[in-house]
Structure 1
C-alpha cells in the first residue's frame, strides 16, 4: 500500500508539472502575440506621425521657397526695367516660372487640408493676376518703352494683390505651424508609447526567460513521458508553420508596396514629361505671337502700298501684273501670320453659340469634295442639345485640317469618322483643364498612325512628316492654339498601323448674353460716289502703319487726321469737332485701344468706332470690343472701305455742330 501510494503521488506530481509547463507555454505564446501586435501598432503610429511632420516641413519650406523665388523674380524684373540688360529679364522669366511650378506643387501637397487647398487656389489666382501685370512691364521694356515699363512696375509694387499674396502665404504657414504643433505632440505621444512598449517588451523578455527556465526544468522532469514530448514537438511545428505564414504574408505585402512605388514613379515621370512639353509649347507660342504681331504691321504697310500703287497705275498692264504677283505673295504671308497667331492664341476670335452636330452635318458636301470618293465619311452624334461658344469658322477650318491630314495618312483611301459626345471632366483629370462639362469632337481615321516620337512633337510649328512641298507643318499647331484660346483641350491617340483619333474638348455653353465683335467680310470697293465721306481720327503707334492707313483713307475720299499715340486723341477731337469716326489700333503702349475708347465715348457718344488689330494678346474680346466693328491686319483698301462705311452707319448721329447748323 505504501509503494502504491508513493507511485501514485509521483505520478500526480509529474502530471502537475506537465500541466504547469503547458499552461506556462500557452500564456507565453498569447502574451508574445499580444505584445507583438502592440509593438507593431506603436511603431506604425510613430512612423505615421513622423511622416506627417515631414509633410508639414515640406509645406513650410515650399512656401518659404516660393516667397524667396517670387521676390528674386521681381527684383530681377526691376533690374531689367532699370538697366535694360536682357540677362536680368531672363532671370525674371526663369524665377517667375519656378514660382509657378512651386505653386502647382503646393496645391498638390495641400490637398489633404481643405482650408490650405482653398488658400493655394487663391494664391494661384493672385500669382496669375500679378504675373500679367509684371509681364506687361517686361513687354513694355522689351519694346523700348522704358518709362511705361517703370510705371507699370511701380504700380505692381503698390497694388493690393501683392499684400494679399504675401498674406495668403503667411496664412498657409500659420495654418501649417498649427498643424505641425499638433503633429509634433502626436509624434511625441507615439514615441512615448513606443518607449513604453519597448520597456514592456524587455520586462516580458525577462519573464519569458524565467518561464523558459521553469518550462525547461519541467520538460527535463517529464522527458520520459513520450506523449508529452510529441505534444511539445507538434506545438513547435505549429508555431513554425505560423511563423512561416507570417513571413510569407509580409513578403507579399512588401512586393505589393514595391510595385505601387514603381507605378507611382512611372506616373510622375510621365507628368514631368507632359509639363516639359507644355512649357516648351508656351515658350514657342510667345515667340511666334511676337513675331507675327510685328509681321502683321509690316504686311499692312506692304499691302496698303501695293494697292495704292495699283490704283494709281491703272492702264499699265506690266506694272499691274507685277503688283498682282506681289499682292499674292503678301496675302500668302498674311495667311501664314494668321496661323502663327492662332498657334500663339493671339488671333482675335469671333465666338458664337455653335451646335457641333449641326456644324459637322453642314460640312458633308465640303468634306466629300475635299476628300474624294475613296474616303468614306461616317458620323456618330451624341452631344444632344449641348452647344459650345467658339469661332464657327475657326472650328470649321480645324475640322477640315484634321480631315485633310487623315486623308494623307490613309493615302487617299479609308474610313474617316466624325463623332461628338458629352463628357464631364474632373479636377486634375486632364492636366490644367478646368473641371466641368465638355463636348468631345473626335476625328478618327484608319491610316498609318504615329509612333511616340512623332506624337511628342506633333503640335510644334513647322514640324511635319510630309514630303517637302506637301505641307507647312502649321495645321495641328494652329488647331492647338485655337482650342487652347477657346478654353479647351486637344488629345491625340494613335497607334502605328491602326490609325489616329484626334479629340477636341470644348467647354459646354449654357446660354446667356455674350456679345462678340462684328466680323467684317472683305468685298469689292464700292464706287466713291456712293460712299459717305467723313473726317476720321486714325490712332496708331506704328508710324509706317499710320502713314499707310492715312494714305488709304485719303485715296477713298475721306479726311484722315493722324494720331500717333492714344494720349493725343482727346486734344485732336477737341480741335476737330467734325470727326465722325475713330479708327484705333488695339495693342498700343500705355493705353490700349479698348481703354482709349472706353474713356472717350461717355464724352463723345456720337463718334463711331472701328478697331484695327492683328494681335489681341490677352484682351477679352467679347467684353473689351463692346460690340464695335473689328478689322484685322493686314487689310486691303476694299476691306478698309467697307469697314469704314459699316462703322459710320452704326454711329448715333451727326456731331453737335452739324446738329446745331441743321436746327438753324
Structure 2
C-alpha cells in the first residue's frame, strides 16, 4: 500500500509535473506568440502611421506647388492689368504696381523651382516657364518704357500686340503643365499611400484576429487577454486620431479650394476690366473724314483764291472747322487717357441737356424722336463740362445705334438721395441722375458684362470711335459716382448715371471776353526753332516770319547747342517735346547752364499735366495753335521765362 501510494503519488506528481511542464511550455510558447503578434501589430501600425504621415506631407507639398502656380498666374495677370491701366491713364503709381507685381512673379518662379526639386520631371517645364517669363518681361518693358516717355500711341500698339504675343500663352501652358504633372503625381502618391495603409490594415487585422484566438485558446493567460484588449483600445484611439487628422486635412483642402476659386474670380474680373487691344477703325475713320474736309477745303481755296476770294474764304473756313473738329476729338481722347487737364465747374445737368438738344437732334437724325425731361430741378454736379457733354452724346449715339436710327430716345435728369452702397459703391448723400433710355433691341447678359471694358464695341469696323461706355465708366468713377444698366433683349436699354450733387455756392458765370493778340515787337526776336518734323518746322518758321520774327531752323535737338554757340544773339528757343534722339526737356536741361540767358517755349500736342514737372517754369503752348496764340506765348515766355542780367550774374 505504501509503495503503491508512493507510486500513485509519483505518477500523480509526474502527471502534475508533466502538466506543469506542458503548461509552462504552452505558456512560454503562447507568450512568445503573443509577444510576436504584439510586436508585429505595433510595427505594422507604426508603419501605417509613417506612411500616412508621409502621404499627408506629400499631399500638402503638392497642394503648395499647385497653389503657388495659381498664385503666380494671378500675379502675372495683376501685373499685366496694372500695365494696361498705366498705358491708358498714364498714372505712374500703376506703373510702379506693374513693376512690383512683375518682380514678385519672378521670385515666385524661383520658389516654384525650389518646391519642385523633388520631381525631376518638372525641371524642363520650370525652365520653359522662366524663359517665357523673361521673354514676356522684355515685351512688356518696351510698352512700359514707351508710356514712361509719353509715347502713348506706341504704347497702345505695343500693348495690343503684347496681348497676342505667344509668350503669354506659353506661360499659361507651362503653368497648366506644371499643375497637371503635380496633380498626376499627387494622385499617384495618394494611391500608393492608400494601398500601403490598406495593406497594413489587413495585416494588422489578421494579427489582431490571431492574437484574439490565442487569448481565447489560453484562458489561463488572462494577462494576455487584458493586454490584447489594451492593444485594441490603442488601435481604436489611433484610428480616431487618424480620422480627426484626415478631417482636418479635408477642411484645409476645402479652405484652400475656396481661396483658389476666389482668386480665380478676382483674376477673371481683372481680365474683364483689362481687355485692352480691341481698337476698331472708328477713330481713324473720323480723322480721315476730318482730314478730307481740311484737305478739300484747302484745295478748293487754292483754286478760288484768285478768281473768287469770297469762295476761297468759305473753303478756308470749312477747312478750319474740320481742323477744329480733329483737335476736339484729340482733346476727348486725351481727356479719356487723363493726359489733358480737366476743369471741373458747377453744372446744372438739366440746363446742359437742354443746351445739347439741338446738336443731338442733328446728330441722331430725323428718324429718332428725342424726348428730354427735367426732374432734377436746379441740382448741380461738379465736373468738366467737355467730359460731361461727351458722356451724354456718347450715350445718345449708343441709343441711336440700338434703335437702328429709328425710334424714341429719352434723356431724363433727376434727383435721388441714397443710403450707403444702395447703388453700387455710392456713399450716402444726394445724387443727380442722368438716364438715357431707348426702345431698341436691348442687350444680352454676356454683352452687359463686357460693355465697360476699354475699347470694347459691338459696332462694325470703321463705325464709331471705339471708346463707348468705357469712357463713361472712367468718368463716373472719377466723380465717385456709379452707373447702372437696365436692359433685356427686345425690351430696350436704360443707362443711368449717379453723380454726386454739388452743394457749394454757385459762382456767377464769367463773362466771355475776346483776347486780342499781343502787341508784336516791331524789331521782332531771334528765335531758334527745334522740331524734328520738317512740315511742322516749316509751318512754325513761316508763322514766326509772318509775326515779324527772325528764325533759325534746327531739325535735330543734339545740334541745338552748337547753333546757340554760333548765334549768341538768339533770344528764344521754341522746342517740340517728343523727338526721336532727345526730348525737348532733356535738351533744355543741357542748355540751362551754358545758355541761361535764352528764354524757352515748349510746343506740344500731347503732353499733359501728368508730366508737367518736366517743363519746370517754362511756358507750354498746345498744338494746334493760332498766330495770336503763338504770339501771346512768345510774349509770355520772353516776359516770365528769361532771367535778368542780375540773376545771371548772381548764378
Q: TM-score, normalised by structure 1?
A: 0.50
Equivalent residue of 2:607, what SS? coil
CA contact (8 A) 1:416 1:443 kept: yes
Q: Give the alignment of 1:432-447 within 5 angstroms.
A: 445=434
CA contact (8 A) 1:339 1:478 kept: no
CA contact (8 A) 1:303 1:327 kept: no
Distance (Å, rounded) in 2 between the aligned partners of 1:440 and 1:646: 45
1:564 to 1:101, Cα distance in 2 relative to 1, 3 A: same
Distance (Å, rounded) in 2 between the aligned partners of 1:420 and 1:599: 57
User: Within the alignment, does 1:624 sit opposite 2:623 as a pair?
Assistant: no
User: Within the alignment, does 1:333 sit opposite 2:345 as a pair?
Assistant: no
User: Within the alignment, does 1:401 sit opposite 2:390 as a pair?
Assistant: yes
1:130 to 1:216, Cα distance in 2 relative to 1, 3 A: same
CA contact (8 A) 2:297 2:315 kept: no
Alignment length, in residue pairs?
460
- Return the offset for 1:597: 0.9
CA contact (8 A) 1:374 1:414 kept: yes
Distance (Å, rounded) in 1 between the aligned partners of 2:562 and 2:420: 56
CA contact (8 A) 1:375 1:414 kept: yes
In structure 1, runs of 5+ residues without a counterpart are 1-26, 66-97, 113-122, 144-189, 220-238, 382-391, 423-429, 431-437, 506-520, 660-664
1:106 to 1:459, Cα distance in 2 relative to 1, 3 A: same
Q: Give the alignment of 1:215-230 within 5 angstroms.
A: none
1:465 to 1:442, Cα distance in 2 relative to 1, 3 A: farther
Equivalent residue of 1:591, what SS? coil
User: 1:11 aligns to what?
Assistant: none
Distance (Å, rounded) in 2 between the aligned partners of 1:420 and 1:649: 54
CA contact (8 A) 1:42 1:197 kept: no
User: 2:276 aligns to what?
Assistant: 281
User: Within the alignment, does 1:615 sit opposite 2:606 as a pair?
Assistant: yes
- Return the offset for 1:453: 1.1
User: 1:635 aligns to what?
Assistant: 625
Q: Give the alignment of 1:458-497 within 5 angstroms.
A: 458-459=452-453, 461=455, 463=457, 472-474=465-467, 476=469, 478=471, 494-496=485-487
User: Within the alignment, does 1:323 sit opposite 2:316 as a pair?
Assistant: yes
- Return the offset for 1:374: 2.9
User: 1:540 aligns to what?
Assistant: 531
Q: Give the alignment of 1:577-588 within 5 angstroms.
A: 577-588=568-579
Q: Give the alignment of 1:169-184 within 5 angstroms.
A: none
| Greater radius of gyration (CA) | 2
CA contact (8 A) 1:445 1:501 kept: yes
- Return the offset for 1:647: 1.7
1:635 to 1:461, Cα distance in 2 relative to 1, 3 A: farther
User: 2:410 aligns to what?
Assistant: 411
User: 2:209 aligns to what?
Assistant: 209
Distance (Å, rounded) in 2 between the aligned partners of 1:403 and 1:646: 37
CA contact (8 A) 1:442 1:504 kept: yes
In structure 2, runs of 5+ residues without a counterpart are 1-37, 77-97, 113-133, 155-189, 220-235, 357-371, 400-408, 501-511
1:564 to 1:522, Cα distance in 2 relative to 1, 3 A: farther
Distance (Å, rounded) in 1 between the aligned partners of 2:74 and 2:471: 37
**Deviations 1:325-353, CA, capped at 9 Å, x for gaps:** 1111121122223334445x3x74337xx
Equivalent residue of 1:412, what SS? strand
**Deviations 1:136-157, CA, capped at 9 Å, x for gaps:** 99999x99xxxxxxxxxxxxxx
- Return the offset for 1:474: 3.8
- Return the offset for 1:562: 1.3
Equivalent residue of 1:411, what SS? strand
User: 2:123 aligns to what?
Assistant: none
CA contact (8 A) 1:537 1:563 kept: yes
Equivalent residue of 1:562, what SS? strand
Distance (Å, rounded) in 1 between the aligned partners of 2:532 and 2:419: 45
CA contact (8 A) 1:581 1:609 kept: yes
Distance (Å, rounded) in 1 between the aligned partners of 2:264 and 2:298: 55
- Return the offset for 1:578: 2.4
Distance (Å, rounded) in 2 between the aligned partners of 1:366 and 1:547: 45
User: 1:271 aligns to what?
Assistant: 267
User: Within the alignment, does 1:45 sit opposite 2:57 as a pair?
Assistant: yes
Distance (Å, rounded) in 2 between the aligned partners of 1:269 and 1:337: 36
1:284 to 1:416, Cα distance in 2 relative to 1, 3 A: farther
User: 1:3 aligns to what?
Assistant: none
User: Within the alignment, does 1:593 sit opposite 2:555 as a pair?
Assistant: no
Distance (Å, rounded) in 1 between the aligned partners of 2:60 and 2:249: 18
CA contact (8 A) 2:574 2:602 kept: yes
1:483 to 1:502, Cα distance in 2 relative to 1, 3 A: closer
Q: TM-score, normalised by structure 2?
A: 0.51
Distance (Å, rounded) in 2 between the aligned partners of 1:454 and 1:628: 47
- Return the offset for 1:546: 0.4
User: Within the alignment, does 1:647 sit opposite 2:637 as a pair?
Assistant: yes
CA contact (8 A) 1:566 1:591 kept: yes
User: What's the C-alpha RMSD, in Å, of the aligned pairs?
Assistant: 6.9
Equivalent residue of 1:415, what SS? strand
**Deviations 1:106-161, CA, capped at 9 Å, x for gaps:** 5778999xxxxxxxxxx99x979954687599999x99xxxxxxxxxxxxxxxxxx
- Return the offset for 1:251: 11
- Return the offset for 1:268: 2.5
Query: Which of residues 452, 462, 467 in structure 1 aligns to 2:446?
Result: 452
**Deviations 1:400-436, CA, capped at 9 Å, x for gaps:** 43345567867223636699999xxxxxxx9xxxxxx
1:607 to 1:373, Cα distance in 2 relative to 1, 3 A: farther
